[in-house]
Amino acid sequence: MSGLGLFTRTRWADRAGLLSVLTITLMTLAAGVITPFDPQSRVAAAYLAPSAAHWFGTDEIGRDLFSRVLQGAQLTWLPAVTVIGLALFFGAAVGLVSGALGGWVDLTLQRVVDLFLVLPPMLIALTVVAVLGPGIVNTVIALVIFWWPWYARITRDEVRRLKGRPHFEAAQLGGIDPFCLWFRYLLPGAVPALVVAATLDVANVVLAMALMSFLGLGQPAPAAELGAMTARSLESLTVYWWLPILPAAAVWLMCLSANLAGDGLRSVLRGA
Amino acid sequence: MPYIVRRVIGLVIVLLAMTFIVFCLESLVPTDPARAMAGVSAPISTVEMVRQQLGLDQPLPTRYGRFLLRLIQGDLGMSVRTRQPVLNDIMRYLPASLELCAFALLGGALLALCLAMLQGWFPNAASLRFAITAAGSAPIFLTGLLSAYLFWFVLGWLPGSGRLTGRSFAGPTGFNVLDGLLAGRADIVVDAIAHLVLPGLTLALPIAVAIGRSLAGALHDVMRQPYIRTARGKGLAEGRVVLCHGLRNAASAPLAMAGLQVGLLFGNLLIVEQTFAWPGIGLYMVQAFASSDLPAILGASLVLGAIYLAIGIVIEIAQSLADPRITLRA
């Protein structure tokens, strides 16, 4: 499928989602360069309303809120993508081994996957972070531990399905090296389902991280964490609405973009 | 083996795994509990004595065995913050949370039905799909904040804090709506329901979107089957066709989705109880986070985890009731 086909065959919402995900990724990657002000230092009077000079206004000690939200988006989006990347890697590896080998290996690995799938993910991730202490590494580890089983299950089911197909049997009879067999003939079949699930899951991880940050389990205070920024300025909602609302809106935008992009990819890949 | 026996065995294994995770977390904590108990300036010999008294010098398997033994006796340790046994605290706060969750799930299911119907009527409306996705993407603290601001602060239609306004009322079950009914106090029932609406609907929104989308997809497939044409052909009203014939057949995937949503609900519960000052187990956990109250955090997540597992079984049974083709296998 060409890249163009991907665009002409989708609805406007899907296109907006894909474009928005790309924009957010680029903006968060370049956040250090494109923030108009230093997110950590006082640049104007406190509590300035949004204006041309300060797009999102300023916070309680006069820091530029747009710069802080951009930095907060960076601290949420990039770890979220990392979490999904790591979970995809481990999940696909386990799923591939499980599905390709079958037999008792499959049985054992799938019982382990079952075990993780029946535990309440958010609750345990929160508990792990609360006990081990907040920090970006702990958060990423806690989320990866409870996210990989989904991808393991998806990969394994797709691999099992492909193993029954004639093209696999033909390749096997052709004497292709088993390692190559796995990566060239089995794994690619699982990619579409994995890509859709992973894109939608970026939204879930963004929400999970914002939730942790709101509860004070994010990075410590000077860091511009979106959830924590909202949590700290809750009481000023009626006077300085931009302080709690705009960081939360940024979380909303990231999550919405990932959801739309995931829906779009799903309809494209299903139609293909 | 009969279904229920296999399921109980599976449940015991998962519960053991969960207690093992909790136990590992307890031993992974960077601070030394013996040192904490003895005091910062206590000599090494005192710390070692405390360590022996607590059994912390024993090998890990022995300690895990003791931990399980205490757990079976209902001993979740003492809360550092409230200085009460954690189990007592949990029992005090749990009914409020269960009441809220039940309300949220019920509201979520009804909303989901409405959303699925809407999507069924307008299958190609991109703006409707966009609106539903947007509603489902909103972080729970934003929707909670905005609904509290609008309906409580600006309009004053609904209360946005606590479980009852300005009266103390305690019944035998701890569920205010139920207790109000039992005591025959209509004012309590109305007040309790009014307090449930805002936090309940805030929690219900993401659930409704997830279940609604899954239900819309399932209904879309089911409504094209020949038996639906037959039902229409024999002159049944459309509402009856959808609700009695279509819905039952389409219920399986949305029910599974509902089970998943309960897992996320327990995360959102913490935020909503904090936002709406709801005195439940979520608020208890948030306060425990703030004061690093380890026994309370671990005990509360163990209890909520066990409830989640129990709900999983209920969902499976509901699936098999809705669709007899699904046989109950462990």
- Burial of residue B11 (number of CB atoms within 10 Å: 0-12, 13-18, 19+): middle
Q: Which of A70, A42, A46 is nearest to A57 (CA)?
A: A46
* Residue A5 pLDDT grade (very low, low, confident, very high; cuts 50, 70, 90): low
pLDDT-derived band at B327 (thresholds 50, 70, 90) equals low
Which band of pLDDT confidence, cut at 50, 70 and 90, is reported for residue B330? very low
Residues 6+ apart with CB under 8 A from B197: B158
Whether A214 contacts chain B with CB within 8 A: yes
A68-110 pLDDT tens trace: 899 889 999 999 999 999 999 999 999 999 988 888 888 889 8
DSSP B219-276: HHHHTTSHHHHHHHHTT--HHHIIIIIIHHHH-HHHHHHHHHHHHHHHHHHHHHHHHT
In the three-class reduction of DSSP (H, G, I as helix; E, B as strand; rest coil), residue B38 is classed as: helix
For A171-194, what is each residue's pLDDT tens digit? 888 888 878 888 888 888 888 889
Distance CA A179, CA B197 (A): 57
* Minimal C-alpha gap between A256 and chain B (Å): 5
Cβ contact B289–A130 (<8 Å): yes
Contacts (Cβ under 8 Å, ≥6 apart) of B153: A238, B160
Burial of B182 per CB tally in 10 Å (0-12, 13-18, 19+): middle
Please check whether residue A256 is in contact with residue B129, taking contact to mean a CB–CB distance below 8 angstroms.
no
Q: Which of A120, A131, A252 sits opposite B142 (nearest CB)?
A: A252
Among A110, A126, A127, A129, most B C-beta atoms within 10 A, so best to mutate, is A127
Question: Contact A130/B271, CB-based, under 8 Å?
Answer: no
3-state secondary structure of B155: coil
Angle between helices A242-271 and B140-147 (to 10 degrees): 130
3-state secondary structure of A186: helix
Q: What is the pLDDT of residues B209-246, one digit of tens each?
A: 999 988 888 888 888 888 888 888 888 888 888 878 88
Dist. CA B315–CA B252, nearest whole Å: 9
Q: What is the pLDDT of residue B90?
A: 92
Taking the CB of residue A103, how many other CB atoms lie within 10 A of it?
A: 8
CA distance B227 to A67: 59
The structure tokens 């300025």 sit at A233
Question: Is some CB atom of chain A closer than 8 A to the CB atom of B8?
Answer: no
The pTM of this model reads 0.85
CA distances from B264 to A95, A111, B203 (A): 24, 22, 10
Residue B85's φ and ψ, nearest 5 degrees, are -60, 135
How many CB pairs below 8 A link A and B? Answer: 132
Residue pLDDT, tens place only, A102-142: 888 888 898 888 888 888 888 888 888 888 888 888 889 88
> What domain range includes position A141?
3-271
Greater confidence (A259 vs B48) lies with A259
The amino acid that residue B220 corresponds to is: H
Complete DSSP assignment for B44-88: HHHHHHHHHHHTTTS-HHHHHHHHHHHHHTT---B-TTT-SBHHH
Rounded to a whole number of angstroms, the CA Rg of chain A reads 22
Task: Report the pLDDT value the prediction gives residue A91, as an integer from 0 to 100.
Answer: 94
DSSP letter at A37 equals S
Question: Judged by CB atoms within 8 Å, which residues 263-292 of B form the interface with A?
Answer: 263-264, 266-268, 270-271, 274, 285-286, 288-290, 292
Mean pLDDT of chain B: 84
User: What are the percentages of helix, strand and coil residues in chain A, rounded to 5?
Assistant: 75, 0, 25
**Mutual angle of helices A242-271 and B126-137, in 10-degree steps:** 130
Strand partners, B85: B78
ipTM for the predicted complex comes to: 0.82
Contact criterion met (CB < 8 Å) for B262 and A12: no
Q: What is the DSSP string of A97-111?
A: HHHHH-HHHHHHHHH
Decide: helix, strand or coil at residue A192: helix
C-alpha closest to that of B193 among B164, B216, B173: B164
- Single-letter code of the amino acid located at B299: G
**DSSP code string of B173-232:** SS-HHHHHHHHT-HHHHHHHHHHHHHHHHHHHHHHHHHHHHHHHHHHHHHTTSHHHHHHH
Q: What is the CATH number of the domain that holds A179?
A: 1.10.3720.10
> How far is B203 from B140, CA to CA, in rounded Å?
7
Q: What residues in B contact A256, CB-CB < 8 Å?
A: 133-134, 137
A117 touches chain B (CB under 8 A): no
Mean pLDDT for B173-192 is 81
Q: What is the dihedral of CA A88, A93, A95, A99, to 10 degrees?
A: 150
Question: Where is pLDDT greater, at B6 or B136?
Answer: B136
Which conformational region is residue B316 in: left (phi greater than 0), alpha (psi within -120 to 50 degrees), or beta?
A: alpha
Cβ B62 vs Cβ B85: under 8 Å = no
Structural domain count of chain A: 1
Q: CA torsion angle for A12, A16, A17, A20 (degrees, to 10)? A: 170
Is a pLDDT exceeding 70 seen at residue B310?
yes
Q: Which two tokens stand for residue B67?
A: 């931990």
Cβ of A141 under 8 Å from any chain B Cβ? no
Per-residue pLDDT tens digits for B267-309: 899 999 988 889 999 999 999 888 878 888 888 988 998 888 8
Tally Cβ neighbours within 10 Å of residue B82: 17
Tokens 């300060």, residue? A54
| Interface with B, mutate which of A114, A128, A214 (most B CBs under 10 A) | A214
Residue B103 corresponds to which amino acid? Answer: F
- Residue B44 CA: distances (Å) to CA of A47, A193, B3, B34, B36: 53, 57, 55, 10, 12
